[in-house]
Amino acid sequence: MVAGEASGDVLAGLLLQSLRVRWPGLQAAGIGGPQMGAQGFEAWWPHHKLAVHGFGWDVLLRYREIVGIRNALDRRLAAHPPGLFVGVDAPDFNLALEARLRARGVKTVHFVCPSVWAWRAERLRTLQRSVDHVLCLFPFEPALLAQHGIAATYVGHPLAQVIPLAPDRLAARAHLGLAPDAQVLALLPGSRLSEIKNLAGVFFRAAARIAAQRAQVQFVLPAAPGMQELITQAAHEAGMAGRVQIVAGQSHQVLAACDATLIASGTATLEAALFKRPMVIAYRMGTIAWQLMNRKRLQAWVGLPNILCQDFVVPEFLQGAATPDALAGACLRWLDAKTQNPVALQRLEQRFSQLHQVLRQDTGALAAQAIENTLYA
């Protein structure tokens, strides 16, 4: 197994737990993290070695090391072929490795369908060549893959199991020291260094505009590990030092507690939807990276809630459109909706509740069954 970052480690740990129920003597090794290690996984390399993102210098500087790890792993697996290889997300690393293994007769499973429905549709050809089966988090993906001759199974999204159907807002506010009747806006500018650099400043400037109009609004920001100093500096530069409550992690508590959230596009937007929270989605990246990515976009939407609902159920502000004024205005509209447009809030909560029910599956058991079927097909 290979998991390339923290989210993949969580998915792989869940899968390993279910696989061990079926095969108590299972031996699993490769690249992984602590969640996999808790299930008896032997990590030959730690998962953070593969955790790079985007098109920038971070990828270029790490390219030689990552290719070296992939080649070393390939040689090791060629010398001692496994009964099954499971690549967990990290498609740029895993799909090439899976293609080599499959050509040598090793069964390959990819856990998490690459976002071929959103951008980089050329990866469909790579999937055809690389995998025997794909485990999909979203219900529309297997039919799409079937059109290209790729076997796949919908297994649901683990987040839908972890997040309660009816989050306890009062308990979350008590945990964070927020008043039960406070008006709370959550700021989630992302967890990666590039996201913090591109979004934290504009998020804080948007918050400053909101604070100037609504002194009673409280702001909470859950800082990802290692990012608190950079976030605090951005708050200071925007004149929001001491005005925003910055907490270490606890993003689920923050989303449960808030009235609305200003949030970076990514998995966190799905978490916000599962917490039934109105949101304003924003994203900025380097100019070259944006031009490359935007050219390969296949849908009108970027945020996962909008993609899954096939509608602009929440606003998106991308690249140059993500200005402090635009973000502040959209956030204020959600904060005012409780009194000025309660029907819109109720409709959004209903859409997100329906989505939650669809995604709430026994992911580990369904994935284990699909793997067993693949092995003995």
Confidence band, pLDDT 50/70/90 cuts, at residue 297: low
Are 67 and 150 part of one and the same domain?
yes
Residue 142 has pLDDT above 80, yes or no: yes
Residue 164, domain member (yes or no): no
The pTM of this model reads 0.84
Between 219 and 162, name the one with better pLDDT.
Answer: 219
Q: How many helices (H) and strands (E) does the chain have?
A: 18, 13
Q: How confident is the model at residue 55 (pLDDT cuts 50, 70, 90)?
A: very low
- Over range 139-147, report the average pLDDT: 91
Residue 359, pLDDT score:
96
Contact between 360 and 139 (Cβ < 8 Å):
no
The residue range of the domain holding 342 is 169-359
278: CATH: 3.40.50.2000
Determine, yes or no, domain membership for 196: yes
Whether 73 maps to a domain, the answer reads: yes
pLDDT higher than threshold 70 for residue 145: yes
Examine the pLDDT at 235 and tell me if it is beyond 50: yes
Q: Say if 341 falls within a structural domain.
A: yes
One domain for residues 35 and 123: yes
Indicate if 141 and 178 belong to the same structural domain.
Answer: no
**Within this chain, do residues 253 and 313 fall inside the same structural domain, yes or no?**
yes
Task: Confirm whether 163 is domain-assigned.
Answer: no
Express each pLDDT in 156-173 by its tens digit.
998 899 899 999 999 999
Any domain includes 161: no
DSSP line for 245-298 = EEEES-HHHHHHH-SEEEEESSHHHHHHHHTT--EEEEE---HHHHHHHHHTB-
State phi, psi for 370 to the nearest 5 degrees: -65, -40
Mean pLDDT (whole number) for 217-236? 92
- pLDDT given at position 115: 81
The answer as to whether 355 is a domain residue is yes
Q: Are strands 316-318 and 42-46 parallel, antiparallel or unpaired?
A: unpaired
Whether 25 and 73 share a structural domain: yes
22 and 54, same domain (yes or no): yes
Strands of 42-46's sheet, edge to edge?
42-46, 29-32, 2-3, 85-88, 108-111, 133-136, 152-154
Q: Are residues 325 and 288 in the same domain?
A: yes
**Statement to judge: residues 236 and 209 lie in one domain:** yes
Do 336 and 301 belong together in one domain?
yes
> DSSP letter at 319?
G
- Overall domain count for the chain: 2
| Tens-digit pLDDT profile for residues 57-108 | 555 667 788 889 999 999 999 999 999 999 998 888 999 999 999 999 999 9
Are 207 and 245 in a shared domain?
yes
Sign for the pseudo-dihedral over CA of 147, 151, 156, 157? negative
- Do 50 and 178 fall into the same domain? no
Q: Buried b / exposed e across 86-101, counting CB within 10 Å, b at 16+? A: bbbbbbbbbbbbbbbb
* Element (DSSP H or E) covering residue 349: helix 342-359
The answer to whether residue 332 sits within a structural domain is yes
Q: Which residue has the higher pLDDT, 208 or 158?
A: 208
Q: For 24-50, what is each residue's pLDDT tens digit?
A: 999 999 999 999 999 999 999 998 787
Give yes or no: residues 201 and 318 share one domain.
yes
Over the stretch 243-283, which tens digit does the pLDDT of each residue have?
999 999 899 999 999 999 999 988 899 999 999 999 999 98
Average pLDDT, the chain: 90
